[in-house]
Every structure is written in structure tokens, then in C-alpha cells.
Structure 1
Amino acid sequence: MSSCPLVLSGRHTMALTPFLKQDMDFTECYGDSVSSVAAAARCGCRQRVRRLIKRGFSVDCRDNRGWRALHEAAAAGSEDCVREILSAAGGSSSGCRAYVNSLTHEGESACYLAARHGHLAVVRLLLKAHANINQLTNDLSCPLYAAVDGGYKEVVELLVSKGAEVNRTHTASCWTCLHQAVYKGHSEIVRILVNVCNLEALDDHKISPLFVAAQYGQQECLEILVNAGANVSTQAADLATPLLIASQEGHQACVDFLLDHGADPNIACSHDWPQLPIHAAAEFGHIGVLRRLIAVTDRVCDRGDGMVSPLYVAVHRHQSKSVEVLLREGYSPDAQDCTHILGLCSPLSFALCSTSNKPYSESVRLLIAAGASLNEEDWIYALATDKTDLLQLILEHRWIPRPETLTRNCSVPHHHGKTVLKLQEMRGLLCVALNQVHFAACWLPLLLKAGLEPSLLLQPHMFEQADSEVLNYLLEFVNWSTLSLPLKHILDRRRAEKTWEPCPYFESITCLSHICRLRVRSVLGPDVLMRTNVIQQLPVPSPLHGFLQFRNIPEASYKHSPPSALSDRIQEHSSTHQHRHVL
């Protein structure tokens, strides 16, 4: 997922091919082929130019660039040399006109060279000599475009007053002079051009000058264009608006000005999905812009069908600050299911997928802390691994409810400041846990200490697949003498096969102290018993506190060698997963 990349100028640099590199000798230095008159003109030496002309030296000779003496004089800004050379160029008006409009090999006229260097007097003189004011160079530039590019306001004023074509497109990207003036930030020139140029001129990407101002943060130029009547909600070929591009680039002042002057923050800015300016700000972490857009953007993008929450793009670019701001401002951590648009079912699933082989990102922490719903795939990331950091993070912010309190209520209740896992989330947890028994030594202690009712795991699959230590650890949390016959049969078979070695006291009658703590847990509830200080408030000796909370039971050790990468394990789980409905 990306943010609609925008290319304005289409400029590319071509690398030399290997055979050209081998054939070209860059150490050889070629001599200057400029004529004597041209050399004098380059230095601005009028008297020397005059002497050379009187001695019969030609003003018509070209150097290896196709430059004549007039080109040198114009580029150097020597008005006097230009006069001398024009005087010698030909007696007739037609001869002088042909000479003054002669071009270099790059298609540059003397007027173009003078304008490019801001030589006002020389440009004025050449125009009087009938220089072609609109002559194009090989790269489609012209005297006016060159003066605009250089920021030479007086030259621009002169050329415009003399009838220069102001709306012609130049360069490979089809920019007008107004585009270039805005791009360079020449605000005084923009003030001149807005009175004579087409404000809505479009380049080859259908980008207007106002769009250019927004993209490059040229606030003063933007204000000039808007005040002159330019459309603030114009859209480029890819549907991007000035507000979108200013938000993407983080130009706060431009964003504020556009919004204050009618720019619509709810225009879809992409052919692929309904991208809005708020998405661009979130994706690139421009927090000030993001806060401004949150206040004016329609919240339908948060949960609406067919829309995409800005949380998705913030997660995509690991912009945790954007995630934090959006959640704080009330955007749903669950957003909407964007499987049909982006191939993603939730921001949390996307965040977990993006960091499956790394420490879990700040975005994951923020989404879980905000109450993002956990589906089966999310639980796989927490349970199908020998790493427990994600599961610990989840349990830090989630409360495992008692089975009897679970309902189909889709609301998100809270208990002791934590979000309570919903029925569907509990089903996903237990289903994945029972399919990941080989990692039970890692997740089982955490879940039981977090208040999971142990009887929920008294399932045939658990008894058949669990390691001997894991199975003993689980049995320590229940009354092993009251197991169902099918489970006892599995234990008998495993003991006979020597795949399970029970604790010695499992053979005897359950001790009264163990039965008592099971009763205490039943009365208080496993969640309250394991996650609160209620035990410390009971009238029992303090040495019993740890016993009543089952802290005396040694944990099983994880004995499997680390398998393949988590992403591969998740792929394997998805292909072999069986839905085990416990609740």
C-alpha cells in the first residue's frame, strides 16, 4: 500500500552504457575554438571588438558549440559589444534580423542567453534588433521561461510587455512559465504572471501551478494564486489535490491556508481506494497537519464500508505517533475490514504481519492498549512461538473473563482498568492454544496466571499432544481425581507408552489443602484470584498466599528446538489449523 506517488517534472538521468565509457577518453582536453571577436566579446572589451572588426575579423564565425560573437556578448551582458557586433552583422535590416536570431547547437538565441543571465539592457537592445521573442531552444525553453527560472523580474516584465507568449508549455513535463515561477518561489514574478497567464494550465500529469505551490511549500505563491482565483480543489491525473500533496509533504502553513480558503478534505484522491489528505498526513507522520485534518475530515473514513481508516497507512509506515494521535482522537483501533480493498482485515493484523520477525512495534502496543479486537490470526502470532513478549503485552491490557460471564455482547467492557476479552476472542484464544500444544510450555503458565479457567484446557487434544511436564503442570491446577473417563483413558495409554510420567501423588487421593484452594478459586473466580490482591485481604496466614495462587507449582520447560521463522509457522498453522470449539 502506498500514497499515490507523484512525479511532476519527469526528469531522469541516463547512465552511460559500458561501451561508451570504454570508448570515451575523459583525460583529453580540447582547445577553445572561439573566434577572436567572440573572445573579446566574452570579456566585454568593446574597443578590442571594434578594432578586430575594422581589421576584417568576422563576427559570423561559430565555435564548437555553434556560438557566434553575438552569443558571447549577450551571455556576458555587454551592451556595447552587442551594439558593435550588430552594427557589423549586415547593412540590411533582413541581414541583421537573420543574424540576431541565429541559434547555437543547443538552439539558444542571443536573446535567450541574455534573458537567462538577467541582462535587461541587452535583451531590450536585441528586441529592438528584431530578436524573436518566442524562439524555442532544443529543450523547449524560451527567453521568458529562462528569465522566470532565474528570477529576473525586470526581464520578465519587459518580455511580457513586448508580447512574449505566456501560456506556452516548456520542457518535457509541459510546464508553463507560471509553473516554473511557482516552483522556484519567485513570488514577485508570480504576481506579474497571474495577471496574464492561465491560472489553471496543466502539465502532462494535469498538475496546475497551485498544485506545484502546495507540493513545494511555496506559501506566498500559493496565496497569490488563490487570491487571483485559482481553483484550490483542482485534481491531478491521479486525482491528487493540492491539499493532499501539501499534507503529504508536511507543509502546515499551506494546509491551513487551503482549508481556510475552501479546500475540501473529503475529496477522494486516488483511483485505487478512497485516499484522503488525512491518510497522507498519517502515513508520513506530519502530526500538526494530521491534527488539523482530524478536525475537518468526515469520520466515515474511520469505520465506513468501502473506506480505509488512516490507521492502516500509519501502521504501514510505522508511524507510531500518528497511530497514537488517531487513537487518542477517537479513531477505532479495529477500523473496518479492508480485505477487499487492501487485503488487510484490521490494523492490528497488519501491524503484527509487518513485525512478525522483529520485536513488536509501538503500533502493536498502542492498538492492543486501545482495545483492538483479537482474531484467530492475531492469536497465532502470540501463541505459535516460543517467544512470549506479545502474549505478555496482550495480558497486560486484557482481562480473561470467567466462562460463565461470557456473552455474545459485542460491547467492550472493562475490568480493573483492562479491556475484557469478548466471547469471540476467547474462542479464538482457546482454538489456537489447542492447536499449538507444542508451545504450551511457553503460553500455558502465562494464561493460567492471568486467570484462564484451567478446565477449559481439559480437552482430549491437549492430553494427547502435550509434553509430560506440560501435562503435569496443567493437572496441578485441577482436581486430577475427578477427570472424565475419556481423559483418564488417554492418560493410561500414554503412561503405558511411556510418553507421560505422572507426578507420584497423582496416584493418591487429592490432598485436602489442594481441594481447599480449588474451592477458593471457584468462589473468587480464577481471574480475581490470580490477578488481584484479594488473597492478601483474606484472614489466612501470609505463607499461604502463594499456595492459594498456585505459585508453588514449578513451570514446565520448553524443550523444542526453535523452528522456522514465525511467518513460516503461521503459514503452516493456517494450512493445518482445525477449529476446536471449547466455548
Structure 2
Amino acid sequence: MDFTEAYSDTCSTVGLAAREGNVKVLRKLLRKGRSVDVADNRGWMPIHEAAYHNSVECLRMLIHADSSENYIKTKTFEGFCALHLAASQGHWKIVHILLEAGADPNATTSEETTPLFLGANVNCQALDEATPLFIAAQEGHTECVELLLSSGADPDLYCNEDDWQLPIHAAAQMGHTEILELLIPLTNRVCDTGPDKVSPVYSAVFGGHEECLEMLLQHGYSPDAQMCLIFGFSSPMCMAFQKDCEFFGIVNILLKYGAQLNELHLAYCLKYEKFLVFRYFLKKGCPLAPWNHISEFISHAIKAQTTYKEWLPSLLLAGFDPLNLLCSSWIDSVSDDILIFTLEFTNWRTLPPAVEKMISTRASHSSRALQQHIACLPSLTHLCRLEIRSCLKPEHLRSDSFICQLPLPRSLHNYLLYAEVLRMNEVPALTAIEDGEINEAT
């Protein structure tokens, strides 16, 4: 006999009315004296049907129709009483009616299961969509997380209205490494790559937890992740700039696992005045072309012009094309000294006509120094310097040591490195890191 599948031909008419919640039909049947204790192939009586299907009025009618105290305690062939079935479906009102009518809250099934155990829905959600697993992960209750997972809690059930936040995000953001280790192998990786999702890497960076970040990256989560519209960042590296004491450690970890640098990261260095990191990113091979966010970079560069000696020389010496800077906003906004310094990395007499026109317009109401500079002819040695540097590969321009190893006199090494221009503009010797990691002390 199958005790799990309900056969319609074995259910009494009273049972069917209770299953469907048909109060009108049930009332007529009871008036005709139809029995309320006829069981189907599973041993289910009408009271079981009403309890399981949340038929509140039908349940009340059935209880009153049978005065026997044992009717409310009758069990199915698997040992389930009406209270078990109501609790398993979360029908709190049915549970309340049954308890008031004398149902035993400690009744057990054939597998020794009580109604209390069946009322525990491990995937229930609060008004803000939070699940018990999410709250336990957020609060750091490792044993609760283990119990919930072993009881069938779903780690992929979204816990907010925007459908992106999971328990793994809570653990990563709050720094609960043991819980994170439990959740990583059980969580669907779509959260790391889905365009409308948020990688937990962002959560670890947002919380400033280096150990959680490294754990995620060790298990294959991307250090670049997807663009995060929720937080307004294009990459975890961009988000890292909002951190203070944790910043350097987070940056080093992201780079260690292959984070790709771009111009937005350089722009953020200027925005947050992290000039050592700016130079470090250049040494680590941040691409200098092509740039998709040049306007955003120039916007931050203009705001950082008072500290240009900390970053602009390094950018231009690394091989950045100064023509990318020589747009109207840069030409109109920076000081004469900065504009002259920028032009030192060009042949200012062969600039594109549009650029030449903007510079001439600017010079007409600027200092005599700028007017004289654009009026004079570049020296032959300067043109040779530009030509030699144009023949070098980008990775060579980023390395002072490579240029200093060229089979040339030391004076030419210095000339190729713009030593006289840096000296004339009083650019100090800048700390740079060829390899290794950066930290606050550096």
C-alpha cells in the first residue's frame, strides 16, 4: 500500500470536502450523518485533510461533529496526527485550534518526530527577506549555520528585495571566516559572475576583511568580479579606495590574485591622494592606452593639479601620451607651469592643429613663460630624446633601471629620464616600488 500518494477513489466525500475547504458541501454531508473517520489509502481521515490544507472552518466543523477525544489524536499510517500535518505546513491558526481542542503537542510520528520539529521552516523569511541562515551568518553563529545547513537551509535563497544578497555576503562582510568556509562550497557561483548580482568579493572588501577576501580568491572567485551597480563601483579595487587602514592589505591581495588595473584605479589614486599607490600601479603595468575613461581621469587630475609633482612626472615618464591630456579642460584649467611641463614630453611645434589653437588661445592671456616656450623651437637633442623613447617598449619606459643599463653615457641616461626637466621644476626624488608589496609605512 502506498502511504504517500493520495488516491481520489479511496477518499470519502467528507474527506474531499475537507481537502477542498468546501464548507457548504461538508455541512450537508454532516447533516446527512456521513462518517468523519473514514480513512483513505494513507490512513488520512477528514481531520487530516482539513489540517494539511488549512481548511479552518471545515476543521472546526469536524471537531464538533465527533465528540470523541481520540478523534483529534488519530494518526495516519505513518504516524502523523492532524497537529503534525498543520505544523509541517506552517498553518499556525490550525495549530492553535487543534491545541485548544486537546491535541497533544508532544505526539510523535513513527520516526519519533514531534509537531514542534515540523513547524521549524529553515527557509522562512522575515519582512526584509532575511532567512535564519543569513542572520546566523551575519551574527557569526557558526554552530547555528552548521545546524541550519544540515537541516536543508538554502544558501542560495536571496535575502533582500534586490535579489543579490546571500548568506555568503553576510559572512564575508562581517569577517566570519569559519562560516565563510562552510558556505563557499555550497553557494552557487552565479553570484560571482552574474551581471545583476554582486560578488562576495565586494562584501569582503567593503568590510575590510583581508582573510575573508583571500579565502574567496583562493577558491576561485574573481578579483575583478562584475561591475557593482548596487555599491556604485566598477571593480573591487575601486571599492578598496574607500578603506583606510585596510587599504594597502586589500590592494596587495587583489593584485596577488591577478586583479587587472586600469585608468579608473589611477583616477581613484588621485581622488584619494594615494600617490605612492599611483606610482606603484604604473610599475605593476597599468595600461596607458587605450583608455575608456579618459574624461574621468582628467577630471580627477585637474583637481589634483596642486600636487602634480607627486604623480604627473611618473605618468609621463612611464610613456603616457601627453596628447591625451591636452584637451580643452586640461589646457584651460591647469597652471602655466603644469602646461609647460606637459609640453616638455611633446614636440610642441608639431601638435595637431586643434590642440595648437587651444594652446595659442590660452597663451594669449597667460604668462610670458608659456608664450616663450611655445614660440621657441625644440632642440635637436630634445627631438632625439622623443625619438629614442618612442622606440622603447612600455615596460622599458616604466623601469628607470632598464634605461640606465642602455650602452650610453650616464649623461644620456639622465637626459632620457628627463633629469634636467625634473630638476628645473623642482620635482623631488619619488619613492617607487619595483616589486613586493606596498604598505602604510612605505
Q: TM-score range by the shorter chain?
A: 0.5 to 0.7
Matched position secondary structure for 1:553: helix
Q: 2:198 matched to 1:308?
A: yes
| Unaligned segments of structure 1, at least 5 residues | 1-173, 175-193, 203-207, 209-230, 407-422, 559-583
Match of 2:287 among 400, 404, 416: 400
In the other structure, the counterpart of 2:116 is: 199
Q: What do residues 532-580 of structure 1 show as CA deviations (whole Å, max 9, x unaligned)? A: 643244221233222212233227479xxxxxxxxxxxxxxxxxxxxxx
**Structure-2 change in CA distance of 1:512 and 1:373 (3 Å):** closer
Q: What do residues 146-165 of structure 1 show as CA deviations (whole Å, max 9, x unaligned)? A: xxxxxxxxxxxxxxxxxxxx
**Structure-2 change in CA distance of 1:276 and 1:250 (3 Å):** same
2:205·2:239 contact (CA, 8 Å) conserved in 1?
yes
Q: 2:387 matched to 1:543?
A: no
In the other structure, the counterpart of 1:287 is: 177
CA distance in 2, matches of 1:540, 1:475: 25
**Structure-2 change in CA distance of 1:501 and 1:397 (3 Å):** same
Matched position secondary structure for 1:289: helix
**Structure-2 change in CA distance of 1:546 and 1:268 (3 Å):** same
In the other structure, the counterpart of 1:391 is: 278
In the other structure, the counterpart of 1:516 is: 384
In the other structure, the counterpart of 1:320 is: 210
Match of 1:278 among 168, 172, 189: 168
1:268·1:276 contact (CA, 8 Å) conserved in 2?
yes
* Deviation for aligned residue 1:481: 3.4
Q: 2:259 matched to 1:371?
A: yes
CA distance in 2, matches of 1:304, 1:550: 47
Q: What do residues 44-96 of structure 1 show as CA deviations (whole Å, max 9, x unaligned)? A: xxxxxxxxxxxxxxxxxxxxxxxxxxxxxxxxxxxxxxxxxxxxxxxxxxxxx
| TM-score normalised to structure 1 length | 0.46
One-letter amino acid of the counterpart of residue 259, structure 2: G
In the other structure, the counterpart of 1:528 is: 396
Q: 2:136 matched to 1:268?
A: no
CA distance in 2, matches of 1:508, 1:441: 24
* Deviation for aligned residue 1:258: 4.8
One-letter amino acid of the counterpart of residue 383, structure 1: L
Match of 1:424 among 289, 292, 316: 292
CA distance in 1, matches of 2:375, 2:315: 27
* Deviation for aligned residue 1:432: 5.0
CA distance in 2, matches of 1:532, 1:519: 17
In the other structure, the counterpart of 1:329 is: 219
| Unaligned segments of structure 2, at least 5 residues | 1-91, 93-110, 428-442
One-letter amino acid of the counterpart of residue 312, structure 1: Y
**Structure-2 change in CA distance of 1:552 and 1:268 (3 Å):** same
In the other structure, the counterpart of 1:244 is: 134
In the other structure, the counterpart of 1:453 is: 321
CA distance in 1, matches of 2:323, 2:273: 23
Match of 2:339 among 463, 468, 471: 471
CA RMSD of aligned residues (A): 4.2
CA distance in 2, matches of 1:399, 1:375: 7
Q: What do residues 101-152 of structure 1 show as CA deviations (whole Å, max 9, x unaligned)? A: xxxxxxxxxxxxxxxxxxxxxxxxxxxxxxxxxxxxxxxxxxxxxxxxxxxx
CA distance in 1, matches of 2:231, 2:358: 46
1:438·1:465 contact (CA, 8 Å) conserved in 2?
no
Matched position secondary structure for 2:159: coil
CA distance in 2, matches of 1:514, 1:499: 23
CA distance in 1, matches of 2:228, 2:325: 34
**Structure-2 change in CA distance of 1:538 and 1:500 (3 Å):** same
Q: 2:124 matched to 1:235?
A: yes
CA distance in 2, matches of 1:526, 1:485: 27
CA distance in 2, matches of 1:427, 1:552: 30
Matches within 5 A, 1:12-411: 197-200=114-117, 208=120, 233-238=122-127, 239-256=129-146, 258-259=148-149, 262-339=152-229, 341=230, 346-352=235-241, 354-355=242-243, 360=247, 362-364=249-251, 366-367=253-254, 370-371=258-259, 374=262, 380-384=267-271, 388-401=275-288, 403=289, 406=290
CA distance in 1, matches of 2:140, 2:299: 45
* Deviation for aligned residue 1:302: 0.7
* Deviation for aligned residue 1:298: 0.9
One-letter amino acid of the counterpart of residue 264, structure 1: D
| TM-score normalised to structure 2 length | 0.58
**Structure-2 change in CA distance of 1:279 and 1:485 (3 Å):** closer
